[in-house]
Amino acid sequence: MPGIVKAYVAIAINLQFAPVERLLEDNPGLLEQLEKHDRIALEDAVQLVHKLYLHSQEVNMAAIMGRHLGVASHGPVGYATLSAPTVGKALTTFVEWFRIRCDTYAARISEREDAYEITISDTSGDRAFETFFAEAFLRAFEVLIATLMAEAPKHQTTLYFASEAINRRAQMCAEYDSRLVFAANENKMSVPKDIWFFRSPLYDRDAYEFNLGKCRQLLAAQAEQGRIDMQVRLRLQNHFERVMLDQSMSAPPSQKALCEAMNITERTMIRRLKRCHQSYRNILEEERQRHAERMLRDARYSIAQIADALGYREAANFCRAFKKWTGQRPSDYRRAPDVDAGI
């Protein structure tokens, strides 16, 4: 059953946007749930958001909550994000792994000529929850960028909101650091490439890898509960881990092979992944990038071997894909001082 880590619900209540008794009037057992369980059901989170909109006088409450979502509230996802090598990698890490904290959304990262865009898609089916989640999530992105760059890059990034926010645009413009666009087709953030590839002074490779390991453990636990996107991601991760362990250099399983191993049809997998706003190809690309970076830090692997292990027929194809992901050629990434020295 879809749910959210209790820390976010507790923060929403503790910020006192509305009297607690009002927020809990139809769900008096919510506080007890927060004490006993690590997650709460999506329906309870949706009900809480509706109560906030009904009883709060603060029009910017979602953005304010996003501003208060510190690293500690995200657990290992937050610590991995903060120790990532670049702003873009930090944002990507957060987007990819936040699913283990809150499974009510999907995200897509796409490249434009001069920027990268992170599109946030709601999967709850509730419009009020979608609006609240997007406004909080995108504000948290801004705070992360400001933390990594030591100051907010005012009006250099752009936020797009599906909401029209007719009666509160002025207040939102005062709260956010980005340029704002309302009544957009999607909720998304556009980040210029110079910011995306900004090298983070907080980069710590050991901390980054350690917390990604924690995230993988949480992913495995959730995959056992039946989430198809988590199951696909875990199987691909296990494949690449075996490749790194025995250097067998076998290509990743195709969608067809993965379906056979999971005993489902391709049509069923496509349909179930679509419900999560995901696809086999998107998940494969995310895992390819993650393991490409890990393998490039290991001198045992040549670039040709890495390309082969990741399923590219030609090393040139891998090099083009890696440049798109990171802004660097694989050889330049491998020679970078922080990669070689582990800074």
* Phi/psi at 222 (5° precision): -75, -35
Cα gap 276→279, rounded to integer Å: 8
**pLDDT band per the 50, 70, 90 thresholds, residue 10:** confident
Q: Where are the alpha helices (DSSP H) in 17-126?
A: 20-23, 30-36, 42-55, 61-67, 76-82, 87-97
56 within 8 A of 88, measured Cβ to Cβ: no
Structure tokens at 103: 């499974």
Q: How confident is residue 5, by pLDDT bands cut at 50, 70 and 90?
A: confident
Write the burial class of residue 267 (CB in 10 Å: 0-12 exposed, 13-18 middle, 19+ buried). exposed
d(CA 339, CA 72): 26
Q: How confident is the model at residue 130 (pLDDT cuts 50, 70, 90)?
A: very high
Question: Is residue 342's pLDDT more than 50?
Answer: no
Q: 89, 147 in Cβ contact below 8 A?
A: no
**What is the predicted pLDDT for the residue at 225?**
63
Average pLDDT over residues 199-223: 87
Neighbours of 23 (CB within 10 A): 24
142-161 confidence digits (pLDDT tens): 999 999 999 999 999 999 99
> Given a cut of 70, is residue 224 above it in pLDDT?
no
pLDDT value, residue 105: 81
pLDDT, position 33: 78
State residue 123's pLDDT score.
Answer: 81
Phi and psi dihedrals of 86, rounded to 5? -135, 165
104 with 124: CB under 8 angstroms?
A: yes
Q: Which residues of 110-133 are buried (b: 16+ CB within 10 A; e: fewer)?
A: eeeeebbbbbbbbbbebeebbbbb
Contact, 160 vs 184, CB < 8 A? yes
- State the CB neighbour count (10 A cutoff) for residue 156: 16
Alpha-carbon gap, residue 137 to 163, rounded angstroms: 14
* Domains contained in the chain, CATH given: 59-196 (no CATH), 226-341 (1.10.10.60)
Model confidence at 339, in pLDDT bands (50, 70, 90)? very low
Q: Is the pLDDT of residue 341 over 70?
A: no
Q: Which of 82-86, 226-230, 263-267, 271-275 has the lowest mean pLDDT?
A: 226-230
> Residues for the chain: how many in total?
343
* Torsion sign across C-alpha atoms 92, 97, 102, 107: positive
Inform me whether the pLDDT recorded for 71 exceeds 90: no
DSSP 251: P
- Asked if residue 149 lies in contact with residue 195, where contact means CB atoms within 8 angstroms, the answer is yes
